[in-house]
Structure 1
Amino acid sequence: MALILHLAFVAEWEAARAAGSYRISTRGKSLDDGATFIHCSRPDQVAAVANSFYADVTEPLCLLVIDTSLLVSALCDEDLDAIGISFPHLYGPLNLDAVVDVRPYERAADGRYPEVSAQALS
């Protein structure tokens, strides 16, 4: 089982559970607004993403732990920004049954989001 992660606002995850699918691409963007994919990360990428793009966030965040073998939409590993680092991108809605765990994601004592290890997910 290969696991990837998606950084989500708790309120948006709860709304998705009520709606039956998750359609948020990234902070402030959704598939309904024209985004073409949902941004995901491997465990070793989450902290860098959170500390770069969610540093000013005050709302609660969570990590959606996704089993890639259960995905209905297409998953591609891509380096779209040509930065030498590829990220998993989900082209279509995230089916809720592919989310095998939801974990709170909170800042450490130093104010930064912590690293996530692959071992901690298993």
Structure 2
Amino acid sequence: MTPEELSDFALELPSTTDDEAFGPGATVFKVEGKVFAILQDATHGGTAQITLKCEPDLALHLRDQYPAVGPGYHVNKRHWNTVLLDSTVPAPELREMVEHSYERVVAGLPKAVRERLRLQRG
């Protein structure tokens, strides 16, 4: 998946907003003001990457399964993974990772907000 495709997918999730809170080149995706993804552009010839919240055991499993998945960059490494967008992680898996991150953040929101978002998702 390209960074643009990932961005479009993330923005389709209910109540998702994006901004460059950390500066140019790093798009931050939030649900109800809480960060669930950070998409970083390819810089200095590097590879674009996305940082996603993840259940700790699943985070370890994904790191073992895909060389492009590692501990979160500049975040809590137990609860976040950074995925290099080098085409080695299949697109369906990346979409699942984004949805999982979104759902992890939504789970920490007040019940009324969770219910509203659940209804919006259908």
What interval of TM-score do these two structures reach, taking the shorter chain for normalisation? Answer: 0.3 to 0.5
Higher relative contact order (CA 8 A, sep 6+): 1
Higher helix share: 2
Higher strand share: 1
